[in-house]
Amino acid sequence: MSIALKQVFNKDKTFRPKRKFEPGTQRFELHKRAQASLNPGVDLKAAVQLPSGEDQNDWVAVHVVDFFNRINLIYGTVCEFCTERTCPVMSGGPKYEYRWQDDVKYKKPTALPAPQYMNLLMDWIEVQINNEVIFPTSVGVPFPKNFLQICRKILCRLFRVFVHVYIHHFDRIILMGAEAHINTCYKHFYYFVTELNLIDRKELEPLVFHSDFISASAEMDLSH
């Protein structure tokens, strides 16, 4: 996380405790490399590419956890304004509505207020990334065969947080002066999931114009 981003966001507002990697491990080193991508001047398109000789599952694992931490922080800055009154439905504008299903309590897609959806979403992701069978932390322990499938679902659902924040709460982000930092976080997320084909393009449609805008901005930045 960049110093500027830390200054903008109050750590007390993190929506969930951060998941960390054990120092000295290969995944910790990959995690540091992923975090360095938020440093000013970094070519994010190049930064998200799988490093030569590294395992794709390791690369995806550290990014999933890192994005979970960052998006927790982002939502934590606006969660007090995201209430059942202001956001009675988890949506991304009038065209997109997201319904919750976890095959446990909610066995069918269920319409919920945005804050309730967010709580269920973050709880569900925490269970996944803290499950040693799915996200093993011990060296030499293999990832499950359906690891990428699980990560695709996690990333798809995390994208919905971006959609809701951008469309319904971006005025708060602007008032905080944090829009450039949120854009960088989203840009990193977008380039990563598209580079490794981890989210269906149709799922990305709610922010397609924004994605085109930041891509154009990135190309302008690199040309200067």
Q: Which residues are annotated as a binding site for Zn(2+)?
A: 82, 87, 164, 169
Q: Max Cα separation, the chain? A: 52
Question: Which among 176, 162, 181, 179 has a CA at the least distance from the CA of 2?
Answer: 181
DSSP state of 55: -
> Alpha-carbon distance 7 to 5, whole Å?
5
Contact at 8 Å (CB) between 134 and 128? Answer: yes
C-alpha to C-alpha distances, 133 to 136, 140, 148, nearest whole angstrom: 6, 12, 13
User: At residue 91, what are phi and psi to the nearest 5 degrees?
Assistant: -145, 175
Q: Binding site: what residues are annotated?
A: 82, 87, 164, 169
Interacting residues of 189 by C-beta distance below 8 A, sequence separation 6+ = 67, 71, 155, 158, 159, 162
Distance, CA of 180 to CA of 66 (rounded, Å) = 19
CA geometry: angle 164, 162, 58, nearest 5 deg: 145
